[in-house]
Structure formats: structure tokens, C-alpha cells
Amino acid sequence: MPVLKSARYILVNRWRRFLPKRKPTPVVLQNGMRLSTVRSLDEANAFSQQVKALPAHQDRSQEAERLKAQLLAQTPRAVLAQQQMDAHKHGYHNREKRLYELIEFNDTFVSFVLATRHAELPGLAERLKKDMTDFCRRLDTPMFSNEQYDAIVRGLAREIAVYRTAKYHGFGVRMTSRADDAFGIDMVITHPDSGKELNVDCKTPPAFRHRLEDLVHHGRISEDELLKGDAQGFLTVIHRRNQERVPVTLFCILPDRLGEISDFTFDEPDKLKVMLDAMFRGA
């Protein structure tokens, strides 16, 4: 009998393995509108705002589907905003509005990737690019160039990788919204033992160095502090606005120190834990 039970268990599990995966239900608004019915830029903008107003799903797959629908609907407007920003690098009267549209798009992009299960991350950026391209083609609007899209993915992948890997190591992590102008803070990381919090602003190596030099130029840090930040890869500074004083840790995402990022994940996750431990000790 034990042999028969074992054989039955194997057969049942093989059968389950080959069952087709249940696809998430597409997002359908109360008026019957769904992404497949959108045919113009105005409809896409209205659809994205209505999807944004929907409550978050408790089911992770359904929430990822909601965020993906919102992201695709935001894409045509974000592309046009990016084109206008690139064409008017020295500013123009609608710059703040266009910048806000890109910020909203980036926030949704990050939320969608974070809602996506780990097993589905490989190839996600490429699949998403195809879906965006198809949607923009249907609306007869431009799509991001390869260079623009790659820059968006690379930039957001750094923050996502820090978030995901910090959570993997047991730290508490909360993303901030760029739309809230949160002192440039990308995320708040909480130490699992002490409960201490760090307001983290993730920077590329060039942006990190430029920011430190700018702080020296304005007398907010010393040359010695710049050298210290350069050497350790992070520096906590005080951001000021009116009466508010907020400590923000500038964090240099340097591949030589943290390893490469693939599919929104650090290839060598233990290196980030070493850095986070050092940041909490030094803050």
C-alpha cells in the first residue's frame, strides 16, 4: 500500500505540473472599458487615471495585472513627455507637467515590477517593451527609442534591486512616491534588530559624485566628507526645506562594490547586506 500511495502522489503532482496556469483577469472598469478597447491618447489617459483609483488587489497576480494595465495606458503620454523634455533641455513652460507625467510613469513601473513574482522577472523588461510598442502602435503614437527605454530600465532596476535584496535579507523597506517630492528619497529602509531607519537616495556613480561636489560647492559638506563618501560609497546629509530637517543617505550603486544587476536583482545579493550593515553603523 505505501508503494501505491507513493505512485499515486507522483502521478497527481505530475498532472498538476502540466495544468495550464490560471491567467489573471484583465482589468475591466465599471463602464465596461478595458485596455483592449482604448483607441486614443485621451482614452488612454482617462483609463490610466481610473485604474489608478481602483483599490489594490490582495491577490498578487491580480494586483500585478492592474498595475501593468495602468503602466501600459500611461506609456503614450510618458513617451510624448520624454520627447518634449529631450527637445527642450533648457526648459519650457510645460516642463513641470511633463516631468510629473514621467514621474508617475516611473512610479507605476516600479510598483508593477515589485508586484511581479520572482519567477516571472527574467525577460520581463523585454516582454513589457513589446507590449508597450504594440499599444503605442495601436494608438498611432510614438514609442520610446531603444536608448530611452534602456535608460529607464537601468535607472529603475537599481532601486528595485536594492528594495528586493534588502527585503530578502530581512530589512523592512518602503518605497516613497516621486510624485510626493520626498526630499529625493527613493525608499526608507528599517533595520530588523534596532528598528533604526535610513532614508535612502540611490545614485549612479556619476550622479553620486556630482551630488557630493554640488554639496561641497554650496558649503553643505566639507572636502573631507566628500572623500569619505567617495571611499565608502555612501554619505548621510541633512536635507532642508522650510523648517524641516531630514537625514538622507546618498547611496552609490557601484557595480564594482555591489556586483551586477540582472532582471531587477543583484547577481551577488550578499554584497548589498554588507553595504547596508555599514550604512546603518555609519549613519
- Report pLDDT for 201: 94
Mean predicted confidence (pLDDT) in 7-28: 52
196, three cell numbers: 533604526
pTM, whole model, 2 decimals? 0.84
- Report pLDDT for 178: 66
Sign of CA dihedral 130, 168, 193, 203: negative
Mean predicted confidence (pLDDT) in 100-128: 94
- Could you tell me the pLDDT band of residue 95, with boundaries at 50, 70 and 90? confident
235, three cell numbers: 554619505
- Report pLDDT for 21: 52
- Report pLDDT for 1: 42
Percent of all residues in the chain with a pLDDT value above 70, rounded to a whole number: 86
**pLDDT tens-digit profile of 178-222?**
655 557 889 999 999 999 999 999 999 999 999 999 999 999 999
Mean predicted confidence (pLDDT) in 132-136: 97
Dihedral, 40, 43, 45, 46 alpha carbons, nearest 10: 180
- CA–CA dist 120, 74 (Å, integer): 22
Of the candidates 120, 110, 104, 111, the one whose C-alpha atom is nearest the C-alpha of residue 48 is 104
In the predicted model, is pLDDT for residue 126 greater than 70?
yes
Q: What is the DSSP string of 143-195?
A: ---HHHHHHHHHHHHHHHHHHHHHHHTT-EEEEPPGGGT-TT--EEEE-TTT-
- CA–CA dist 113, 105 (Å, integer): 12
- Report pLDDT for 228: 96
In the predicted model, is pLDDT for residue 250 greater than 50?
yes
- Report pLDDT for 138: 95
Phi, psi (5° rounding) for residue 183? 55, 25
**pLDDT tens-digit profile of 43-57?**
999 999 999 999 999
In the predicted model, is pLDDT for residue 87 greater than 50?
yes
In the predicted model, is pLDDT for residue 105 greater than 80?
yes
In the predicted model, is pLDDT for residue 2 greater than 60?
no
Q: What is the DSSP string of 191-258?
A: -TTT--EEEEEEE-HHHHHHHHHHHHHTTSS-HHHHHHHHHHTEEEEEEEETTEEEEEEEEE--HHHH
- Report pLDDT for 93: 62
- Could you tell me the pLDDT band of residue 5, with boundaries at 50, 70 and 90? very low
41, three cell numbers: 491618447
Sign of CA dihedral 66, 25, 23, 47: negative
Start-to-end Cα distance in the chain: 63
Sign of CA dihedral 43, 46, 50, 53: positive
- Could you tell me the pLDDT band of residue 243, with boundaries at 50, 70 and 90? confident
